Structure formats: C-alpha cells, structure tokens
Structure 1
Amino acid sequence: MENEISKIFGIRAIIEAINAGQTISKIYLQKGLSGSLFSELNTLIKSNNIATSYVPIEKLNRLSKNSNHQGVIAQTSPIDFVELDSLIYQTLEHTPTPLFLLLDQLSDVRNFGAIIRTAECTGVNGIVIQKQGNAPISADTIKTSAGAAFKIPICKVDHIKDAIFQFQAADIQIVAATEKTDHLIYDINLTKPTAIIMGSEDRGINPSILKIVEHKAKLPLLGEIESLNVSVACGAFLYEATRQRLKK
C-alpha cells in the first residue's frame, strides 16, 4: 500500500497508465490542448472520472522540473483505494457499531491529512471522498496525517450522495456537521452505526446533501468567530463519538 508518490509526464504515457489500472489522483492539463491523442486521453479521463485541473504551462514546468510533459502531468496516488461496498459489509461483519467519515469536497491537503490522522486515532473504520473536487492524497497529505493514510481504508466515489444511500441501506445513520441546525452534537446518539459528514472549508456541506441526512448537528461556539477550522471541528465530532462509545 505504501507506494511512492510520483508523477507521470506525457499524453501517451498517461493513457497507458490509465489503461493499465494505475491509480491516478489528479491530472494537470495545459490550457488550450487539442489533437486526436488529447481527445483519447480526455475520453479516458471522463470515463474514469479522474480529477483534473487546467493550468498554465508555467505550473506544468514547475511540477515537471521542465521535463518533456507535452502539456499533461498525472499525479499517481500513494495509496490503493478500496470499494465502498466491500468496506461497508466487511466492516459490519466484524464491527457491530462501525464509525465512518464522509468528506464533502474538502480542498486543503493539510486539513485532509489532519482529519485522516484524527480519524485513525479515534478508530474510524473508513473515510469516503468524492473523485472530483476533493483534495488529493499528496506528499503533504501523507506528512500531515503522520502516515495514518496508510493505515485507514479510504474510498473514492462518484458522488457523496450515492455513498449516503449505500450507508442508509446498511442501516448506518448519517450525521451532518452543519451550523444550519439547532441540535448540538451532544444530543445525537453516536453509539449506533454512524457515518459523519464534514463539509468543505468554504461552503460547508452541500444543501442537497443536507436534505437527505437523518441528523444535523453543530458544535457550540461561545466566542465571536462564527466557525471552526474543519479539521478541528471534525476532531470534536469524532471524539464525542469516542466519548459516548467508551461510556456505553
């Protein structure tokens, strides 16, 4: 599982990597690319729902240290992602009250790494992220997680909503961390099989997701600042779950 974090340069090389089943975390594309080979790559990117970012050539030159990148650089993932179905049902076979974490398009790699570290420390059984829009598992993510990214199962799904429906079908309650509620996290029974959702740094949890969850909960804020850093808030939620489960 502890593969090296590396990059692949060039259109043909990246096409071959995708076709060979290499786990690609993100692809950086030069603005304005065209041609038949690029069209082939673009088709593969879309069919595999790989995260992409269009960037100026100067960024590609920096990432590749001026190697012949042909306008395309792929960042491979240092971990192997697991399938959500397998994670849910294998966990339920061994753990009567599992705890999962869903991240709705977190963008900062250091927040992501800090959350992975806290999740591992609190016994979270797996983390679910969305293929598009989530921070990649990069060298900074691995470093901030203190290596926890190699120890906890992580799933990538096309849409967080799909994951929620799968958890609900398995009788796992969904708890959304949001300020758009009157309920505190301390009012929610977290000793049941539970999946906690944390939102992105800038907009929180998508409103369409909030419509389909069973519980919404927040932390009390007694000062003048209206919100916490997402990794801090996530830690508070996870340790409340730990407190309740240790007390049971």
Structure 2
Amino acid sequence: MRTFRQQQHRPKKNTLIIGRDKVIAAMKEGKQLERIYLSQTIHGPEIEEVRALAAENQVPVNKVPVEKLNGFNISNHGGCVGVIAKVQYQDLQDTLSFIIESGDIPLLLMLDGITDVRNIGAIARTAYCCGVHAIIIPDKGIGALNEDAILTSAGALEQIAVCRVNSLMKAVDTLHLNGIKVFASEMTAETSIYNCDFREPAAIIMGGEEKGIYPALMKTSDISFRIPMTGNFESLNVSVATGMILYEIMKQRSL
C-alpha cells in the first residue's frame, strides 16, 4: 500500500548553526542538535571531530549534496550545517530512575522507523493525554521532531520526555534492567491486546507503517500482540493504532 509522505520543509535560518567550527563549539557547549548536514565532498580532521562529537551526543549526521546546503539560503557554510533541536532530549536511564522514584508505574513508547512527522506528532499528543512517561526514539531512521511535528502534537512534544538513543535494542536492555516488560505491536501476532496485562511496568514498541518493527528488535520484546480487526484490510494507521493501545492500557490501569 502506498503511503503519503509529508513534504519536509527546510529549517528556518534561526535554527541553523552554520560552519564546522560553530557546530563543533555548539556540541562542546552542550547545545542539543536535531541533526547535522555534511556535504558529501568534505573531509579532514575537523569533519572527523564533528562526527566524533555527533556520535558522543547521539546527533544524526546526514551526508548530502552541497546543493541541499545551498538550498538553505545561507553562505559560508563550508559544507557543514547543524540544526538546533526543538525538543530537549532526556537520558533514558535518568528518566527511568525519575519515574520509578516518583512511585509511578512506568509506561513508555518506543518508535521504530516512523518517518511521517504528522504521525509522530499525533502519537505524542495521545501519549501525553494517556499518561505515557516518555517516548524513546532512535537517532536515525525516524522523522525529525521539527516544528511540523510539534504543531501536530499540539505542543505535547515539548511537555513529554523524549529519549533519543543510538540503539533501540540497547534501550530494550536498559528497560529490562529496570524491570520493565516490553510489548511489541504486530498485526500478525497470535496474542490479542485484550489478553495482555498492561498494569505492570510496560514499554510498547510501535513500528513504521511500511516495514513494521525491525525483526531483530522484535525478538528482544517479551510479548507481541495484535489489535483485532474485522474485514480484510492491510493495517491501521500507526498513530490510530497507538491511540487504541494506549486507551486499552489506561482502561486496565484505571480499573
């Protein structure tokens, strides 16, 4: 099934850090970046430093044609442009410790391969309304949490904790070490959502509409479940499915 992809708007100039020296300085100062664009043709020690700092700070790096950087209507970029993050990312373990110490039963969402920023925004909006403590995203392969995503979320992305990690599988290990059971939403699973006990500490993995959850990540989950459907249709929209799951969880936890 073909899916409509929202056109990605170029970032506003006031969100850009222009030039490799300024990008390096920003990361050393602890400024959070959404991503870094590097020209495909540039090399050298400073570029290696950019890459090393980006890896350390879990900032995605995109190698692009220089024409893309020129399309930002900026000059003197030297083949390197950083985009300031609109969302303040949180450390996963720090976030889990805070949730557990507060006495709440942890509830987290993990997003794998969801690229449409409208879906991400809608998911965040529902997650915030349903008491999700944090959303876990990878540093690559997910839509940018830009102004469009924040607008679609009605500001929820600025209210809910977002943890960006360099490996979702390592994040699952962290969840397990903190006593959190990991559930995976999969339309072909044998277990129905109605047979899952979500009253315990839980994290829900939601996959992208085109490829679903990465198979190796699926194997790390404790339980996979499906949302029962009538009729013969390929799948639910991921943001709609997430809403249905979260309301089932909220219902179980409120009884």
Query: How high is the TM-score relative to the length of structure 2?
Result: 0.88
User: Matched residue of 1:14: which SS?
Assistant: helix
CA drift of 1:122 comes to 0.6
* Maintained 8 Å contact 1:190/1:244: yes
Alignment CA distance shift 1:174-1:36 (3 Å): closer
Q: Distance in 2 between matches of 1:27 and 1:77?
A: 11
* Maintained 8 Å contact 2:51/2:61: no
Alignment CA distance shift 1:115-1:41 (3 Å): same
Alignment map for 1:192-207 (pairs within 5 Å): 192-207=200-215
Alignment equivalent of 1:121, drawn from 114, 124, 129: 129
Q: Distance in 2 between matches of 1:47 and 1:98?
A: 27
Unaligned 5+ runs, structure 1 = none
Alignment CA distance shift 1:221-1:180 (3 Å): same
Q: Distance in 2 between matches of 1:5 and 1:110?
A: 23
Alignment equivalent of 1:17, drawn from 26, 32, 42: 26
Alignment equivalent of 2:53, drawn from 15, 39, 44: 44
Q: Distance in 2 between matches of 1:93 and 1:38?
A: 41
Q: Which moved more, 1:144-153 or 1:212-221?
A: 212-221
Query: How high is the TM-score relative to the length of structure 1?
Result: 0.91
Q: Distance in 1 between matches of 2:148 and 2:110?
A: 20
Alignment map for 1:65-144 (pairs within 5 Å): 65-144=73-152
Alignment map for 1:53-64 (pairs within 5 Å): 53-63=62-72
What's the counterpart of residue 243 of structure 1?
251
CA drift of 1:96 comes to 3.9
Q: Distance in 1 between matches of 2:107 and 2:52?
A: 37
Letter in 1 for 2:42: L
Q: Deviations over 1:19-49 (max 9, x none)?
A: 1111111111222222333233233333434
Alignment CA distance shift 1:99-1:202 (3 Å): same
Q: Does 1:208 align with 2:216?
A: yes
Alignment equivalent of 2:39, drawn from 30, 35, 44: 30
User: Matched residue of 1:211: which SS?
Assistant: helix
Alignment CA distance shift 1:97-1:49 (3 Å): closer
Q: Deviations over 1:112-157 (max 9, x none)?
A: 1111111001110111111222222111111111000111111111
User: Matched residue of 1:226: which SS?
Assistant: coil
CA drift of 1:6 comes to 1.1
CA drift of 1:5 comes to 7.2
User: Matched residue of 2:71: which SS?
Assistant: helix
* Maintained 8 Å contact 1:142/1:149: yes
Letter in 2 for 1:241: I
User: Matched residue of 1:12: which SS?
Assistant: helix
Q: Distance in 2 between matches of 1:40 and 1:167?
A: 31
Alignment equivalent of 1:189, drawn from 194, 197, 202: 197
Q: Distance in 2 between matches of 1:58 and 1:223?
A: 47
Unaligned 5+ runs, structure 2 = 1-12
What's the counterpart of residue 3 of structure 2?
none
Q: Does 1:163 align with 2:171?
A: yes
Alignment map for 1:142-161 (pairs within 5 Å): 142-161=150-169
* Maintained 8 Å contact 1:26/1:50: yes
Alignment CA distance shift 1:42-1:158 (3 Å): closer
Identity between Structure 1 and Structure 2 (%): 36
What's the counterpart of residue 10 of structure 2?
none
Alignment CA distance shift 1:202-1:189 (3 Å): same
